[in-house]
Structure 1
Amino acid sequence: MNLRHLFIAFSVVWLAGCATSPASYDAPLKPITRAHTGTSKVASLESNNDLWERIRKGFAIPDLEHDLVDAQEQWYGSRPDYIDRMTTRSSKYLYHIVEELEQRNMPTELALLPYIESAFNPQAVSSAKAAGMWQFMPATGSYFDLTQNAFRDDRRDVLASTRAALDYLEKLHRMFGDWHLALAAYNWGEGSVGRAIKRNEKQGQGTSYVELSMPNETRNYVPKLQAVKNIIADPEKFNIELPNIENHPYFQAVDIKRDMDVELVARLADVRLEDFKALNPSFHRPTIFAGGTTQILLPWDNAKVFQRNFAAYNDGQYASWTVWVAPSTMTVANAAQRVGMSEADLRSVNRIPPRMMIKSGSALMVPRTSQHLSDVSSHIADHGTLAFAPEITEVTRRTPVKVRKGDTMAKVASRNGVTVANLARWNDIKTTAKLSAGQSLDIYKTVKIQAAGVNNKKSAPTKQVRSTVVTKKAADTKVAQKSKGGTPTKKKR
């Protein structure tokens, strides 16, 4: 059978299958009904370049209607310049937060929480030492694996702190089953909210957010978020103009494999130093140590610029600074001499307070030299601490002593460990002077004391700088003390 015959045979069969039976002409017409897909995983064909609209569509927390919300709306609504600064600052971080929330199927209102916590300032520090745009206390940050050491503070890190904050919020929502209570616990601590709920239950009262007794800061916390949510939902109602934020990543993570100066990274990426620090706010030293930090964040278009320039960089030295670990407790002057720095420079770079000695094992930033060319180890980069002990200084003190019956100058001097000549000189008398019982003589001795402002005890207390690592064990101890097994209280102001 040739090709023409095959085609004719196929056409006959196909037409026979398409033919409509006579009965079908007599059947009544039925309206076409809307079909429903069997899965929700079909990608939307809608193109939305406005991140604000994407956030609005993800709102899922029940609205709180309360007089306190009205008051907060008035406060924010009367400050359009403040709203503009906050929202403009947030444009670097919002896309990432929304992406993380959607992947976890969490309400997108939570992307607005840093407006309440820190006005989206990753360098913000509260009076209670909560840090970063999500405002983690040191112990809570450690509980959620946010490294805090001599070289970086991950409570300020954009990726790490967002991950930790959403982990915490998910945990609180599972605990209380209510987003308003979860938010109250984020601010006040789950132990405090749990006890407030038990008090109300014991008294036969309701246990919703508005029915619990709580501090004023927590009482206003959810109303603040609701007010910001209302403004984002309908900015025209409040005469607010939101900046345009594209529905596109602002930054990209780039791997680093060498210790590098912060200024060099910014130069190779062709970004301003302040812009680099805004995306990488956890670094508080002039050099990034690859052993502890494997990635940096760069503006989307600058990531490839950095990679291209890094590949072409041929100066051979990427870092001007390295880390030297003090082998014993020593003075700052002694340490400076060992590493070839001036005492003033060593103090400045490592923020060493006055009247303090460097404790053994402290990790100090020092210039990279021919003796220190290798990159810092991952152990030091992740666990390096900087600890101080009060300086021991010598002072001369006057102590009056009473002459006993039968005492001579020689006996008084011997009993107090001084020479007869000095005893005579201090009291302006002869070495052969006769003494009377009850007579007062002055003795001068040199004694060692700790630096001013530190308790002078047998065991001198160590002063740890804020950047010292808070261990998991220490965080767990605070858990037991504050929350009876829960997460440490996030903050108290």
Structure 2
Amino acid sequence: MNRYSLLVLLFAAVFFTSSCSSLLTSTRQSDSSPLVKLSQEAESQSQSETKPEQQTKPQNNQKTVVMVGGARISEPENHNCKVYLLEGAEELNLENRYFDIPVVYNDPVKKWLNYYLKRGRTYFEIYSERGGRYVPLLAKILEDNGLPHDLIYLAMAESGFQTKAKSHARAVGLWQFIPSTGRIYGLKIDWYIDERRDPVKSTIAASRYLKKLYDDYGDWEIAAAAYNAGEGKVNRAIRNSKTDDFWKLTKRRYLKAETRNYVPKIMALAILGKNLKSFGFEDIEFHGPLDYAEIDVPGKTDLVALAEELKVDVEEIYYLNPELLRWYIPPYMETYRLKVPVGAEVVYKECCEEKDFTATAFQRYKTPSATTINVVAKKFRIQPSVLEGLNGISARKLIAKNQEVILPFREGQNIKEAMYADLYERPRRHVRARASYKKQIKMAKASGQKIANPKEYYTVQKGDTLWKISKKTGTPLNVLINSNLSSVECRMIRKGDKIAVR
């Protein structure tokens, strides 16, 4: 049972720690905000605007490279000790022009700066306020993994420092991991828990992923683009464009607009976040850093009952443990290290350590007729494995009429409340359309009918679907699909595609 007060991280999270502190020196008085604590400019007296080659030499034979523009780094293993000088932005009168990731001032970056200074100003202020809670923690983990502190602005761009942020692509958490990538980097994701929402574990996973991407590309701009779009899409864009320069790639059609905007968005956030006074963000009320204690509790612990005994609001437990999705600890865990408000660990040790808080207050469902766990699970939109574990019954085994099935909802809970919102989410329309399309293809392939020697072709028009083409040409849908599998199996049809119809 250990208390971890992260308040001290505010003071530890300076732009360069001891390993890099000798790179450059600064006489500027430090700002009190968490974002600016990470952004203390590593420059000589700002009034003199000393050139990079005139900077103080590093001590302890430490190699230092101060770069002006550009994203290429010749020695990737030392990338956490690089400094980039932002040039060409004199009109902004910045108090800090130094970064530890590449930052440029061009039209795409100007567009995002303009957005966050005008229409999106409130969003930036909200993100910055949340940053007070998470920036010290994230920066320390990035540093421990040998990565630049300024990558916190990637997290800011991804989620606005919101642990429960969820995208239409099912990306979740501060670092917006999709399920597959999250699992690859060691995050547990199931019905009970989603470690993408854990600020510590997700940042460790993001550090591993970002380090891998940087090692692959040797370039932070391309690495960030790959973080957003995926390595496959970026590799294809590089191969087809015959360039690995991010800004040249943005001029081609191989990267989606979201990815083309992603890197300049990060740079704009970094410029703003490290120059709050320059842009008039002096009145941001930063949230206090995370401060909590930890206790070890057994699997299947009822969090509601435990909170009542500790005399804390259960919402505080959920707030400190955003990765926990339900009202009890996953039953397959022997023990779980639970974060609790400071002081609650003392209460737990004095009154509750030996008490049994095993969850028992489950709702029950009486089957109206003979059925199976699979059918009940589908009715309540629950994974069959969850009901199997709670009831000790195989998902396919027949259950008699009027038999009680234990459900994973707590007594008195509405199964449509926020805790179970994920059970009732509907995919976006294009996701449903793609799923329907794939189902169509699968059914057609099972039929086996196709045109042996096509002689007549149809050019796909805007708004066409396979079903519409089938109706227009009189060709049965399954025959149409099977005769054009090379065109329709990998992706949905597009305007201009040639489809065999006779």
TM range (shorter): 0.5 to 0.7
d(CA) in 1 for partners of 2:385 and 2:328? 23
Is structure 2 residue 290 aligned with structure 1 residue 243? no
Is structure 2 residue 246 aligned with structure 1 residue 209? yes
How many pairs are equivalent? Answer: 312
2:131–2:286 Cα contact (<8 Å) kept: no
Give 1:461's aligned residue: none
1:268–1:310 Cα contact (<8 Å) kept: no
Aligned match of 1:54 in 31, 37, 45?
Answer: 37
Match of 1:164, SS state, is helix
Q: CA RMSD in A?
A: 4.3
Give 1:354's aligned residue: 379
In the alignment, structure 1 segments of 5+ residues that lack a partner are 1-37, 325-330, 367-371, 373-387, 389-453, 458-481, 483-493
- String of CA shifts for 1:218-272, please: whole Å, max 9, x gaps: 01101111111111111123222333467x6634444334642223444456554
d(CA) in 2 for partners of 1:357 and 1:174? 40
Give 1:225's aligned residue: 266
What are the residue-to-residue correspondences of 1:16-415 with 2, within 5 Å? 50-57=33-40, 59-78=99-118, 79-201=120-242, 206-212=243-249, 213=252, 214-240=255-281, 241-244=283-286, 250-257=291-298, 259-267=300-308, 271-289=312-330, 292=333, 294-298=336-340, 302-313=341-352, 316-321=355-360, 333-334=366-367, 352-354=377-379, 359=384, 362-363=387-388
d(CA) in 1 for partners of 2:168 and 2:217? 28
Match of 1:199, SS state, is helix
d(CA) in 1 for partners of 2:223 and 2:177? 16
Give 2:453's aligned residue: none
Give 1:3's aligned residue: none
Distance 1:268 1:303, change over 3 A: farther
d(CA) in 2 for partners of 1:260 and 1:254? 12
Q: Which has the higher contact order (CA 8 A, sep 6+)?
A: 1
d(CA) in 1 for partners of 2:226 and 2:198? 22
2:302–2:358 Cα contact (<8 Å) kept: yes
d(CA) in 2 for partners of 1:137 and 1:281? 17
Give 2:92's aligned residue: none
Range moving further from structure 2, 152-161 or 274-283: 274-283
Identity over aligned residues, as a percent? 26
d(CA) in 1 for partners of 2:31 and 2:280? 24
Distance 1:216 1:40, change over 3 A: closer
TM-score between the two structures when normalised by the length of structure 1: 0.54
d(CA) in 1 for partners of 2:122 and 2:216? 38
1:259–1:288 Cα contact (<8 Å) kept: yes
d(CA) in 1 for partners of 2:311 and 2:151? 33
- String of CA shifts for 1:49-85, please: whole Å, max 9, x gaps: 6532331148301212221111111211223332232
Distance 1:242 1:135, change over 3 A: same
CA displacement at 1:274 relative to structure 2: 3.2
Write out the 4+ residue segments of structure 1 that deviate beyond 6 Å after TM superposition: 38-42, 46-49, 335-338, 355-358
Distance 1:40 1:282, change over 3 A: closer
Distance 1:145 1:304, change over 3 A: same
1:158–1:279 Cα contact (<8 Å) kept: no
1:321–1:365 Cα contact (<8 Å) kept: no
